Amino acid sequence: MTPSRQFSVQVEVLLRDGIADPQGATIERALPALGLDGVTGVRAGKSFRFDLDATDDADALAQATVVADRLLANPVIEESVVRVQPQGIVD
Amino acid sequence: MGQRIGVVLFPGTNCEHDAVLALDRMGADAGLVWHGTTSLDHYDALVLPGGFAHGDYLRPGAIARFSPVMDAVADFAASGGPVVGICNGFQVLTEAGLLPGALQKNRGLRFVCTTVAIRVERGDTALTDGVPVGTVLSIPINHFEGNYTCDAATLAQLRDEGRVVLRYVDNPNGSVDDIAGVCSAGRNVVGLMPHPERASDPLLGSQDGLVLLRALLRSAGAVVPAA
């Protein structure tokens, strides 16, 4: 049996380009109050972290992508970025 | 006994009794359906009422989509049964893929709780059967994520196929094309953000919701007086 490894996963979910992001826009408008006038392109989103067991990097990415696409993001309005990082050998 | 209407109760739903009461007072035999139920064969129509199913965690409707009852709701819809999602129920139906598009946060990040005018755009859906096109109804809305959105191709398809069921007269939340309610290709699944059950008695300030609920009972097979 192929030994599985544990992977750390981070999924970032952001609104798609073209979908209004009033939260990001509101944050951006607040920044001049800090004396920062050059901050642009603020986007508000969500970040998720979890661990999973997988046989290799490709398997980990495939599993994490299912989680991201089927649950964490609504593809109608959101897009996700998935990152996986190997941790160690699991029995 | 009137038509049997199943009102689906998720953990966090909070408009179920309003819906049952409004329907029962019209002569229907409405009852609650727990979200763990897997058989809905004995109902004539289903209502997914408003609230905060599963706490609205992640996104409204995102977790409710995985409730056991949803497979049965999908089967019921596929067999042509009338299914109406009100507010959070509309969000659940979009997340479940039974209706197109998505409900995002209101324009300006503003929670809206008010009574609005909505115009009936189609008289041939499960919720508007026999209602004259152009009828304007006064019905409450109460939501944070009611800003209907979809991609351009989907919007064109909804228009071409006459699936925009209800429009706001004065857009309160930024919904694309003033959309307040849409239906499935089969016209038997309808989702809307306004709450017809909250406009079902003079004491509530409007009885206009009865126009829609009456149409739902007609779709469910009931013989309902016109007014």
* pLDDT the model gives residue A3: 72
B42 carries an active-site annotation: no
Contact criterion met (CB < 8 Å) for A22 and B151:
no
List the one residue out of A13, A23, A81 whose CA is nearest residue A46. Answer: A13
Over residues B38-81, the pLDDT tens digits come to 999 999 999 999 999 999 999 999 999 999 999 999 999 999 99
CA distance, residue A21 to nearest chain B CA (Å): 9
DSSP B65: G
Q: Would you state the pLDDT for residue B115?
A: 97
Closest residue in A to B91 (Cα) is A74
- Comparing B224 with B54, the larger pLDDT belongs to B54
| pLDDT of B116 above 70 | yes
User: Are B95 and A20 inside 8 Å of each other by CB?
Assistant: no
In the prediction, which pLDDT does A57 show? 94
Separation in Å, CA B204 to CA B37, B48, B115, B196: 32, 21, 11, 11
**With bands split at pLDDT 50, 70 and 90, how would you rate the model's confidence at B109?**
confident
Which residues of chain B have a CB within 8 Å of the CB of A74? 59, 62, 95, 102
> What pLDDT is stored for residue A83 in this prediction?
97
- For residue range A22-32, what is the model confidence (pLDDT) as tens digits? 889 889 999 99
Q: Which amino acid is at B30?
A: A
Q: Assess whether B87 carries a catalytic annotation.
A: yes
Looking at residue B198, its pLDDT comes to: 98
Band of the pLDDT at B227, cuts 50, 70, 90?
low
Q: Terminus-to-terminus CA distance in chain A, angstroms?
A: 10
Higher pLDDT, B225 or B173: B173
Task: Return the beta strands (E) in B172-224 as ranges.
Answer: 179-183, 189-192
Q: pTM for this structure?
A: 0.92
- Please, which pLDDT band fits residue A18 given cuts at 50, 70 and 90? confident
Query: Could you report the per-residue pLDDT of B1-30, keeping only the tens digit for each?
Result: 689 999 999 999 999 999 999 999 999 999
Q: Does B171 touch chain A (CB under 8 A)?
A: no
User: B150 at the A interface (CB within 8 A)?
Assistant: yes
CB B94 within 8 A of CB B111: no
Question: How far B174 CA sits from the closest chain A CA (Å)?
Answer: 10
pLDDT at B1: 64
Q: How many whole angstroms separate alpha carbon B95 and alpha carbon B101?
A: 9
Q: What's the confidence (pLDDT) of residue A36?
A: 87
Q: Dump pLDDT digits (tens) for B180-214.
A: 999 999 999 999 999 999 999 999 999 999 999 99
Contacting B residues, span 102-131, partner chain A, CB-CB under 8 Å: 102, 104-105, 107-109
Contacting residues of B for A22, CB less than 8 Å apart: 105, 107-109
- DSSP 3-state of A89: strand
Each residue's pLDDT tens digit, A20-78: 888 898 899 999 999 988 899 999 999 999 999 999 999 999 999 999 999 999 999 99
Which helix (H) or strand (E) element contains residue A48? strand A45-54
- What is the residue type of B15? C
Q: Is the pLDDT of residue B225 over 60?
A: no
C-alpha to C-alpha distance for B31 and B16, rounded to whole angstroms:
9
Active site residue B15: no
| pLDDT over threshold 70, residue A89 | no
* pLDDT one-digit tens code per residue, B120-159: 999 999 999 999 999 999 999 999 999 999 999 999 999 9
Domains of chain B and any CATH numbers: 4-219 (3.40.50.880)
For residues B1 and B18, what is the distance between their CA atoms, to the nearest angstrom?
20
What pLDDT does residue A91 have?
53
Give chain A's domains with CATH numbers. Answer: 5-89 (3.30.1280.10)
Which position among B15, B87, B150, B183 bears the catalytic label?
Answer: B87
Q: State how far the Cα of B148 lies from the Cα of B152, in Å rounded to an integer.
A: 13
As for the ipTM of the complex, it is 0.81
